[in-house]
Amino acid sequence: MADEKKHHHLFHRHKDGEEAGEVDYEKKEKHHKHLEQLGGLGAIAAGAYAIVRIALDLSSLLAALLAYCICLCSRAETLTETRLAR
C-alpha cells in the first residue's frame, strides 16, 4: 500500500485501464460539442419562453385596451344620448 500512489480526485476520475496522463482528444472534442449543442438548445428554449411571455403580456394588454375602448365608446354613446335628450 505504501508503494501504490493513490490520487483521490473529486471530479476527474479515470476509468479502469486508463492512465492518468492519457488524454482522449476525440472524446473531449465530442463532449465539448455536446455541451455546445446543449447550450444552443437552452438558448432556443429561453427565446421561445420569452416570445410566449411577450405574447401573453401583449394579449392581456390588448384585452385591457379593448375593454377601455369599449368603455369609452359606451360612455360617448351615453353622453350623446344625454345631449340629444336636452
Instruction: Give tens-digit pLDDT for 27-69.
Output: 999 999 999 988 888 888 998 898 889 888 888 888 888 888 8
Q: What is the pLDDT of residue 15?
A: 60
Higher pLDDT, 15 or 42: 42
Task: Indicate the domain borders of the chain.
Answer: 27-86
Distance between CA atoms of 38 and 34, rounded to whole angstroms?
Answer: 6
Contacts of 14 (CB under 8 A, 6+ apart): 20
Distance between CA atoms of 28 and 49, rounded to whole angstroms?
Answer: 31
Distance between CA atoms of 63 and 70, rounded to whole angstroms?
Answer: 11
